[in-house]
Structures are given as structure tokens and as C-alpha cells.
Amino acid sequence: MSTVPLIVNGHAVTVDVDPSTPLLYILRNNLDMMSPRFGCGLGQCGACTVIVEGEAIRSCITPVSAVEGFQITTLEGLGTADTPHPIVQAWIDHQAAQCGYCQSGMIMSVKALLDQNPKATETEIREALVGNLCRCGAHLRVIKAALQYAQEARA
């Protein structure tokens, strides 16, 4: 066990864990962040996506020791239910979620892209989402929501 310092949604926290534990488990089991989901556990579905130092990463295959001291953002860090972040509002406007299981990962992938490149094209948005799978088939609504947010981000 080791004490690992993290910065999650702007808050400094420490966890006393095996440093090889996947970040996903720490977020969910130690820090009560339920937005990143366990889908495949193999880095292949995107359900566990969070933003670390501006990059969308798969938290299921990222040891917590690899993000020690880094800025980690989960969906919980984007606004509140009463005052949703514009990207979340775009998802609501387009009713993008069906079961919702994949959606946090989708939002984080799109946000990371548009934070880095507010001028990202629809093609680039689609490419950023290529690793985010949705078994409900909500992709078309997700793309519409992402494009709305992209337009707002550019403005």
C-alpha cells in the first residue's frame, strides 16, 4: 500500500492503496465518483474515460500511480444538476443518452477534444469518439449534442 496524492475535480485528495490499482476503481470505490463506468476493463469501450491533464484517458487501464499529482476531471466536475456545464446541457437538449451507461465517457472524450481544439470539425469529433462504444445506438444524438457544444465553444 502507498499513499497516492491526486487532484480530482480541483480537490486535492490522498488515497492509501496499491499503486497498481486502476484509476477507475479508485474513483468509484474510494472517491464515490460514479460517472466513470466499468465496461470492458481492457481499454476498448471508453465507458471509463476521464480527463487527465487535458487528455481523455481510459481509467480502467491506468494505474493510479501513473496520475499521481495530476489534474483529473470526471463528469462530476462539470457543473451541477441545477447549473449543468454547457456540454452537459447540450446532451440534455438532444436527449443524447438512452440507457446512459456510455455517456459520461462520450462527454469526456468530446470535452477533451474541444478544450484542445475548439475549432474541431465534425470529422474530428467523430474520430475522437471512435473508441467510445454505445450498445444502445445513441451515436447520432451524441454527435448532434457534440456539434451544439462545439458551436458554443467556438462562440
Interface with ligand FES (CB under 6 A), residue from 58, 75, 88, 90: 58
Separation of alpha carbons 74 and 139, rounded Å: 21
DSSP track, 38-70 = -S-SSSSS-TTEEEETTEEEEGGGSBGGGGTT-
d(CA 23, CA 64): 5
Taking a C-beta distance cutoff of 8 angstroms, is the pair 117, 125 a contact? Answer: no
CB of 99 or CB of 154, closer to ligand FES: 99
CB of 34 vs ligand FES, minimal distance in Å: 14
Contact (CB, 8 A) for 80 and 36 = no
Q: Is 43 in the site for ligand FES (CB under 6 A)?
A: yes
Facing residues of 7 across strands?
A: 12, 71
| 88 lines the binding site for ligand FES (CB under 6 A) | no
Q: How far is the CB of 137 from ligand FES (least distance, A)?
A: 8
Task: Work out how close the CB of 32 gets to ligand FES at its nearest, in angstroms, rounded to a whole number.
Answer: 18
Residues that bind ligand FES (rule: CB under 6 A) add up to a total of 23
The CB-of-118 to ligand FES minimum distance in angstroms stands at: 25
77 touching ligand FES, by CB under 6 A: no
Distance CA 155, CA 152 (A): 5
138 contributes a contact to ligand FES by CB under 6 A: yes
Binding site for ligand FES (CB under 6 A): 38-41, 43-48, 58, 60, 97-103, 134-136, 138
